[in-house]
Structure 1
């Protein structure tokens, strides 16, 4: 019996990095990536502190636990630098997210990695990645809404502003089979 794989982005999907950026740089996240941030910033002590200090979005961990309890395997796929591995693992644990592999992947190859891994659906905010995933066999892309991704729409796109909106989704074994089109459950 194969496992149903559900992928989850971290920054601005489950962790409010935009809030940290706004406080540190005094800029709003109207575009993605946010303009004016040095390329290597997130590898610096200040950048790593943002990952450590970011607030989790309310109900994100609960929704992912519901999915995990339905028998899915969670895989976190992020464009964070590899040097953020320890901080990322500690943050996920401290904020009670379900355990799962964490893959650090460059932005340009993230969609290829996701589809190559066999992930059935993905939670994401980055318009580049969402657009690439919409052209694949992926069943659904759950898009965390931000000003920079308002134009994203399509049959595979399920937009949400707040994780509470997903609390009543039918994340049970039978419904996961129906929703994601997988045969992991008899």
Structure 2
């Protein structure tokens, strides 16, 4: 969308969204030179913002308190297991597994975050521990992969075909036998 269209939309709607603001910023950053119409539109937008004809909608900052609680618990548990057992665990995998099974606790203010922390301590601590236990058990059950193994990469069709063919030759060498008549 052009700067003029974004400004027209903002004037029509009466507000400038963060997405509209970001798009105007991107256009200004990437354009080598703005047209006179673009400058006029930006001037009109600035005037409308100053007079209150257009309101800029603020980006809302928020956090998921559950993420910090799960990460704190997961790091402590993983460190304890790694020290006592010698196993190496992936904290990110464990946290992601648990977070996918727990309710989010979003907050937009420090007071809200404190409330969510308190609520989680009282009502959800056992559930958090249970999900981290399950995540650790699954992580420990995962087989160790051989270092020479490679995932099939994202590439063109011919390269994928070659990779699949190589895998088939390695793991099923007698699958396709050619017959000479």
TM-score, normalising length: structure 1: 0.23
The structure whose Rg is larger is 2
Bigger strand fraction: 1
Bigger helix fraction: 2
TM-score, normalising length: structure 2: 0.24
